[in-house]
Amino acid sequence: MPLEIERKFLVRGDAWRQQAERVVRMAQGYLNDLESVQSGAQQVSMRVRIAGSDAFINMKSREPGPSRQEFDYPIPVADAEALLRLATGGLIDKHRHYVRHAGHLWEVDEFHGDNAGLVVAEIELDAVDEPFETPAWLGPEVTHLNRYFNLALAARPYAVWSDGERRPFPETP
Amino acid sequence: MPLEIERKFLVRGDAWRQQAERVVRMAQGYLNDLESVQSGAQQVSMRVRIAGSDAFINMKSREPGPSRQEFDYPIPVADAEALLRLATGGLIDKHRHYVRHAGHLWEVDEFHGDNAGLVVAEIELDAVDEPFETPAWLGPEVTHLNRYFNLALAARPYAVWSDGERRPFPETP
């Protein structure tokens, strides 16, 4: 039973692009409705993802904070395509850039479609308090802001966010 | 993308037991809440099943009538145990008896726990109108009665049904 610990940040500028060692186009959608997960009526989110020429079904427990149980299984791409047609809400379309920095692998997600303009960086850690070096392009942390969940972005995309929601932190000079 | 066509019936008496060629104990639960599937907010039910020493994750589209899209993937038993702890509603505990009759394989589910007393027989068909021979122990069809869905039984078990719900058809002499 793998335990996932992830922290999520906004990104400043474009300097991370030069550091990217690999990039994969991803299409993903959710089989559950956002509301039943947010209300606690359903404890698990169910994601279908096509990443390049691979496809996966993923289940994550929804718990407060950065740590969750995660289950990920490969499935045939044709199944994933059929399941995406049964998805709730919109589909997420993004490029995931893999960026290595000071021994850690960052996943920088550059969203398209209804979420165009949004770029977030995630780091997976072995412990909640594991230290890591902060890249110069890293912005403020949004781990605890539910609207940045991909599940939430499928239901309520970046395109409809208010300006205050898009810039939740005061600009630093 | 496998398409599943199933019809479900009540069972009369115990004569099917002599015909059973195999029996498997199954524990299963659902990761979605019943309401979001019944309301259409979520189009897919998500089942975790441990069958003997094997485990599976299963997704079914919820469509009216006997035909649905079904996706079934083997997963490690330890994952299934962790996922069952995240299940919504109660767990289903049943023996599935495999009964061959006139060239068709019937699955006769004998429920335990909160669903004890309920026995239903299912047949999988290649077409909605595929003919099959009716065994003497077969009772009235309940394919279209949602309360007999295993998903519904996890949320509202047989133990709390009214007498009228348990005997939806007039007794035949």
The 3-state DSSP class for residue B57 equals strand
Better-scored residue on pLDDT, B129 or A53: A53
- How far CA B45 is from CA of A4, A70, A159, B64, in Å, comes to 24, 19, 30, 13
Does B86 touch chain A if contact means CB atoms closer than 8 Å?
A: yes
Other CB atoms within a 10 A radius of the CB of residue B72 amount to 14
CB proximity B80 to A under 8 Å: no
User: Does residue A60 lie within any of the structural domains?
Assistant: yes
B173, part of any domain: no
Pairwise CB contact (< 8 Å): B33 & A42: yes
- Residue B153 DSSP symbol: H
Nearest to A36 among B36, B75, B83 (CB): B36
B38 lies within 8 A of chain A by CB:
no
Q: Is residue A172 part of a domain?
A: no
The CATH number of whichever domain residue A131 belongs to comes to 2.40.320.10
Q: How far apart are CA B114 and CA A121, in angstroms?
A: 47
Residue B128 lies in a domain: yes
CB-based contact, A1 to chain B, within 8 Å: yes
Residue-level pLDDT at B54:
97
Query: Nearest chain A Cα to B43, which residue?
Result: A86
Distance of residue A44 Cα from the nearest chain B Cα, in angstroms: 6
Looking at residue B160, what DSSP letter applies?
Answer: G
CA dihedral (B130, B134, B138, B139) in degrees, to 10, reads 70
- Are B31 and A88 in contact (CB < 8 Å)? no
In a domain, A68, yes or no: yes
Tokens describing residue A63: 């718990």
* Paired tokens of A163: 């300006």
pLDDT in tens, chain A (173 residues): 567 789 999 999 999 999 999 999 999 999 998 888 888 889 999 999 999 999 999 999 987 666 789 999 999 999 999 999 999 989 999 999 999 999 999 999 999 999 999 999 999 998 888 999 999 999 999 998 999 999 999 999 999 999 999 987 876 55
Number of domains in chain A: 1
Structure tokens belonging to residue A108: 């920088």
Q: Are the beta carbons of A104 and A132 closer than 8 angstroms?
A: yes
Confidence of residue B33 (pLDDT cuts 50, 70, 90): confident
Place of tokens 């006139």: B102
Q: How far is CA B171 from CA A27, B7, B8, B12, B160, in A?
A: 53, 21, 18, 11, 21
User: Of the candidates B46, B82, B88, which has its C-beta nearest A31's C-beta?
Assistant: B46
CB atoms B57 and A73 under 8 Å: yes
Specify whether the CB–CB gap between B43 and B61 falls below 8 A.
yes
Q: Output the pLDDT for position A62.
A: 80
Nearest residue to B42 (alpha-carbon basis) of A61, A161, A44: A44
Check if A158 is active-site: no
d(CA A46, CA A34): 10
Cβ <8 Å between B41 and A82: no
Say whether pLDDT at B1 is over 80: no
Banded pLDDT at B133 (limits 50, 70, 90): very high
Establish if A173 belongs to a structural domain: no
User: Measured between alpha carbons, how far is A89 from A50 in angstroms, rounded to an integer?
Assistant: 17
A82: contact with B, CB 8 A cutoff: yes
Domain assignment present for A106? yes
Q: Where are the beta strands (DSSP E) in B52-169?
A: 54-61, 67-74, 88-101, 104-111, 119-125, 138-141
Q: What is the pLDDT of residue A3?
A: 72
pLDDT at position B66 is 64
Range of the domain at A126: 3-166
Encode pLDDT of B144-173 as tens digits: 899 999 999 999 999 999 999 998 787 655
Task: Judge whether B150 lies within some domain.
Answer: yes
Chain B neighbours among A 15-34 (CB < 8 Å)? Answer: 31-33
Does residue B134 sit at the A interface (CB-CB below 8 Å)?
no
A&B contacts, CB < 8 Å: 81
Mean pLDDT over the full length of chain B: 92
